[in-house]
Amino acid sequence: MDINLNDLLRHYRSNPYEEHEIRAPHTGVVKFRAEEGQQTFGPSGKWLHKPGTLLFLLERENNPKRITASFNGEVAGIRHELEGCFVEAGTLLLTIRHRLSKEEIIDRILTEVLSIFPAPQRARYYLPPETASQMDKKAEPSIFLKPGDDAIIMSLMKRDTMLKYEGTPGIIYKVYFHSGDMVERDAPLLGICPPDNLKYVQKVIQRIKNEWEE
């Protein structure tokens, strides 16, 4: 059960970065607006209503769309050869080197601590409406799952299937996806924490909070 937190922290400390590939969300003519090495910021403001740093314009059918950064980081690897060119959907345009925040470190380390309910297929996933509304109401994790309970709706080939929970009974401590997202096979969907393990998890979180400097 015990994890080697020191090792994990050391691992992240040695390389607290993640490279995010920014691809064209759809076809269009690209015009870069960010520069190599530029600092980017994700959405800000109390309600995250201020868009992040402008990365590039993608114009399709006379509609120049502003594509902004969704997280903080540093711009690298701008593919300048594509400037002013028509690109296909999914074309790699640049990367953002993102330094993991304390919350993200906690999320990542928790996947080692919590019991993970992974995606059985590459598919779209939704939380059952009751679960989602319960989560909205309560700030603290409180929804208890035991094997056989309805856990998640998987939308596959236009059909919705209710997935039953299998694994250690416990509380949904962490939801790793946004409702309606396409999730790759085996990627974590839910992080479950058995009740008698709660204290330990909180201790881990506390330790990371104390020991991780940003």
Q: Return the range that interacts with another protein (CB under 8 A); candidates 3-11, 23-31, 143-151, 193-201.
A: 23-31
136 binds another protein (CB under 8 A): no
How far is Cα 78 from Cα 37, in angstroms, rounded to an integer?
Answer: 10
How far is Cα 79 from Cα 23, in angstroms, rounded to an integer?
Answer: 11
| Residue with smaller CB distance to another protein, 91 or 134 | 91
17 binds another protein (CB under 8 A): no
- For residue 157, the minimal CB distance to another protein (Å) is 4
- Member of 19, 21, 83, 88 binding another protein (CB under 8 A): 88
Q: Return the range that interacts with another protein (CB under 8 A); candidates 25-33, 96-104, 105-113, 206-214.
A: 25-33
Give me 150's structure tokens. 């309805």
- Member of 185, 202, 203, 209 binding another protein (CB under 8 A): 185
HEC profile of 179-205? CCEEECCCCEEEEEECHHHHHHHHHHH
- CA dihedral sign, ordered 7, 9, 15, 21: positive
- For residue 28, the minimal CB distance to another protein (Å) is 6
162 binds another protein (CB under 8 A): no
202's CB contacts (< 8 A; 6+ apart) are: none
The angle formed by the CA atoms of residues 207, 199 and 172, to the nearest 5 degrees, is 105
Contact 171, 192 (CB under 8 A): yes
90 binds another protein (CB under 8 A): yes
Residues that bind another protein (CB under 8 A): 25-28, 45-47, 49, 60-63, 65, 86, 88-91, 120-123, 156-159, 180, 185
